[in-house]
């Protein structure tokens, strides 16, 4: 969206809200909070200078961490709602945005196949959302723990410590997915109440085989929670004629007990906006509490009565609602088309890396994340690969003419499968380059990203 168009829509949106506000009458702002133009301009000027100490997260040159710019509609809607600063804890503090939140949560539930019978809400992010899901897991099975892949996000082991519940790490395969034979051994102990399957690990973007995990868990009488914080929106691609992904794990989410997804990742939202959904509405009993000063404006269930968080941003709900009105949860013309382009970008770069004699993929990308390393011209020791990765990381980022910003990932021998035998493991791990291609613009930019890495390698080892 062009800057002039953005600013014009911003002014129009705020003016419409101002007209409504004036219906309550004017007042004189207190001197301590009134905006003084000169002082405000000075503060914002100094802020802009400080913000230059950053990476260009919005640009396709940045292909490092999971940082996706919000959609302009989300930014405009967030700023508009922030003029009121609603709190979606109770209808007392955010009636309009609470209704918007219920609408977007229902759309997420439909995307995952949960249907009308569900319990869910937005959160500050995936960490809190997963904490809630595991808190419910502990409430249902207070004497048992959880099982997660050794490639799952570290938030699960942290949550286990907070909730004082055992966490069992299940071995993963070379593609970064939970091994079914290892899970069966863990389930056989009878000590696990909930299995956590990850739909899009943060390292490789690996997708645990949920469609195969579910039967094993059900046979063992175990619940299944899906951490789809990163990859959940790729469920939209299962509706397409050419899904570009293996649809089976995503379609199986409908049979899971709970699921987490982060709209502030592939949902094009500002930080922080996560969400958690439960298929069984009866788990709401664990949230039951009383408050002497809220929940009086409606006999209906308030969002604060089904969340662990109290104050929550109503502006986040407004922004997500506006985005889904603009880009519905559809595969071809809506948000799914954005996800498809990101997936194509990963496939495009992985093809270039496979054709290269100097680079090696760690694993075939399942979503839009890929990891790779350069092959040293001399003996391929683990330490030499890591040193070359560090040099390429610095060279691509500091290239004055054509900078590219990547990330790094530490991998173990088992994550390379048979390829590990070609490396002299003089260190227990190697550091590789990692790229997250979560902007649709990355598809057209991939040849340039690849060329930058090749150029850096030529300079490092001519």
- pLDDT tens string 61-93: 999 999 999 999 999 999 999 999 999 988 888
The domain 91-326 having CATH identifier 3.40.640.10: the answer here is: yes
Read out DSSP for 343-369? HHHHHHHHHHHHH-SSEEESS--SSSE
Band of pLDDT at residue 434, cut at 50, 70 and 90: very high
pLDDT exceeds cutoff 80 at 291: no
Q: In whole numbers, what is the pLDDT of the chain averaged over residues?
A: 94
8 Å CB contact between 405 and 443: no
Task: Give the mean pLDDT of 286-312.
Answer: 81
Provide the total of helices (H) and of strands (E) in the chain, helices listed first.
13, 11
Ordered by start, the domain boundaries in the chain are 91-326, 335-460
pLDDT of residue 145: 97
Among candidate residues 142, 256, 136, the one with its CA nearest the CA of residue 191: 142
The string over 130-144, giving b where at least 16 C-beta atoms fall within 10 Å of a residue's C-beta and e elsewhere, is bbbbbbbbbeebeeb
pLDDT of residue 449: 97
Least confident of 36-40, 113-117, 196-200, 394-398: 36-40
Q: Which residue has the higher pLDDT, 298 or 97?
A: 97
pLDDT of residue 33: 77
* Whole-prediction pTM: 0.95
Chain segment 87-109, per-residue pLDDT in tens: 998 888 899 999 999 999 999 99
Q: What single DSSP character describes residue 220?
A: T
Same fold, 91-326 and 335-460: no
Chain segment 192-217, per-residue pLDDT in tens: 999 999 999 999 999 999 999 999 99
CATH of span 335-460: 3.90.1150.170
8 Å CB contact between 111 and 279: no
Band of pLDDT at residue 423, cut at 50, 70 and 90: very high
């Amino acid at each position: 969206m062009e800057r002039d168009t953005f600013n014009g829509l911003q002014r129009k949106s705020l003016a419409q809200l101002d007209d409504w506000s004036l219906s309550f009458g004017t007042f004189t702002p207190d001197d301590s909070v009134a905006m003084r133009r000169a002082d405000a301009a000075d503060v914002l000027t100094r802020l802009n200078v400080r913000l230059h100490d950053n990476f260009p997260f919005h640009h396709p040159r940045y292909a490092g961490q999971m940082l996706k710019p919000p959609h302009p509609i989300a930014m405009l809607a967030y700023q508009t709602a922030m003029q009121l600063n609603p709190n979606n804890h109770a209808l007392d503090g955010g009636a309009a945005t609470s209704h918007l939140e219920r609408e977007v949560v229902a759309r997420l539930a439909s995307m995952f196949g949960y249907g009308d019978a569900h319990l869910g809400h937005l959160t500050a992010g995936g960490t809190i959302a997963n904490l809630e899901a595991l808190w419910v897991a502990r409430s249902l099975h207070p004497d048992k723990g959880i099982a997660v892949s050794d490639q799952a996000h570290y938030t699960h082991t942290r949550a286990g410590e907070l909730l004082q519940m055992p966490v069992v790490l299940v071995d993963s395969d070379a593609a970064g997915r939970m091994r079914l034979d290892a899970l069966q051994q863990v389930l056989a102990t009878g000590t696990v109440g909930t299995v956590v399957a990850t739909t899009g690990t943060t390292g490789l973007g690996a997708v645990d085989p949920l469609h195969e995990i579910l039967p094993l868990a059900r046979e063992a009488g175990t619940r299944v929670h899906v951490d789809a914080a990163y990859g959940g929106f790729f469920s939209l691609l299962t509706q397409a004629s050419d899904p570009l992904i293996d649809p089976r794990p995503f379609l199986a989410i409908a049979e899971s007990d709970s699921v987490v997804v982060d709209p502030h990742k592939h949902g094009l939202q500002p930080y922080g906006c996560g969400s958690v959904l439960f298929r069984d509405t009866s788990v709401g009993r664990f949230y039951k509490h009383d408050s002497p000063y809220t929940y009086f404006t409606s006999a209906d269930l308030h969002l604060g009565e089904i969340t662990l968080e109290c104050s929550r941003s109503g502006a986040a709900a407004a922004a997500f609602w506006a985005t889904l009105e603009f880009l519905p949860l559809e595969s071809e013309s809506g948000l799914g088309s954005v996800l498809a382009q990101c997936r194509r970008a990963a496939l495009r770069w992985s093809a270039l890396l496979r054709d290269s004699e100097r680079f090696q993929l760690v694993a075939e990308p399942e979503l839009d994340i890929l990891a790779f390393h350069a092959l040293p011209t001399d003996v391929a020791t683990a330490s030499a690969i890591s040193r070359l990765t560090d040099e390429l990381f610095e060279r691509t980022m500091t290239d004055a003419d054509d900078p590219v910003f990547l990330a790094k990932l530490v991998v173990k021998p088992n994550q390379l499968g048979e390829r590990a035998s070609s490396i002299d493991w003089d260190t227990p791990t190697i550091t590789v380059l990692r790229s997250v291609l979560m902007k649709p613009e990355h598809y057209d930019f991939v040849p340039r990203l690849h060329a930058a890495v090749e150029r850096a390698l030529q300079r490092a080892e001519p």
